[in-house]
Structure 1
């Protein structure tokens, strides 16, 4: 079994606000799959995306209620190339309206920090150095 790509679907309140936020963090969008109701956030082109979908459209894909920003249903973790990149992305997120829901953690071989985006979705940004793992 091999998955070609992954699309994490997340409900959002406002596409313009979400586009502005993620653009300020240095991310871009696949405009072929973006419109006034949804944005295709590129996490790793060709492999990983997050579909940021307005509540109205999102509700057409499920019979279950959409969680509000005070609950957790998923933690989306993204790995980057360095500790400095972790700090840069989280710092930019916080400067642009995100909130901190936990402090950073350094486990030697893994360093991560976290933020909740404008719609309350929780993101973990991490860097790992497998050569420092104690196996």
Structure 2
């Protein structure tokens, strides 16, 4: 059936979004770059996140865009290899112009994470999970 899943996100300015995500450590498949879209790669499995200019995104989604300042359409969660990586990413997000809405901290005794919004208000959750401390 399915070999891969891609996440598509609308953005106001593809170049600015690409610069933001580059600053916080993401890579891109330059073969899929156009003025109205870019292909971001996440993690070892190279999960694809396509960033599309809002009008192009609306044309193929055939739906009204969510106002990310007033509501959330999705929470994108990514893993971290350590608590230090969570802290470093939070710092990079601030330096790149993003909004850390959930400061780095422990949760439920076995997770450590933070939440941030990118330049377009899409919300991301970064977690380090220590499964040895997870309640049975």
Q: Shared topology, TM-score over 0.5? A: yes
SS at match of 1:89: helix
The Cα offsets for residues 67-95 of structure 1, whole Å up to 9 and x where unpaired, read as 12212010000002111111111210111
Task: Classify 1:50/1:63 alpha carbon distance in 2 versus 1 (closer, same or farther; 3 Å).
Answer: same
> Does structure 2 retain, via aligned residues, the 8 Å contact 1:77–1:126?
yes
In structure 2, how many angstroms separate the alpha carbons of the residues matched to 1:43 and 1:132?
Answer: 26
Match of 2:8 in 1: 9
- Aligned Cα RMSD in Å? 1.5
Output the TM-score relative to the length of structure 2. Answer: 0.90
Question: Aligned residues, how many?
Answer: 134
In structure 1, how many angstroms separate the alpha carbons of the residues matched to 2:38 and 2:44?
Answer: 14
Match of 2:55 in 1: 56
Runs of 4+ off more than 6 Å: none
- Structure 2: stretches of 5+ with no match in the other structure: none
Aligned runs of 1:79-118 on 2, under 5 Å?
A: 79-107=79-107, 108-118=109-119
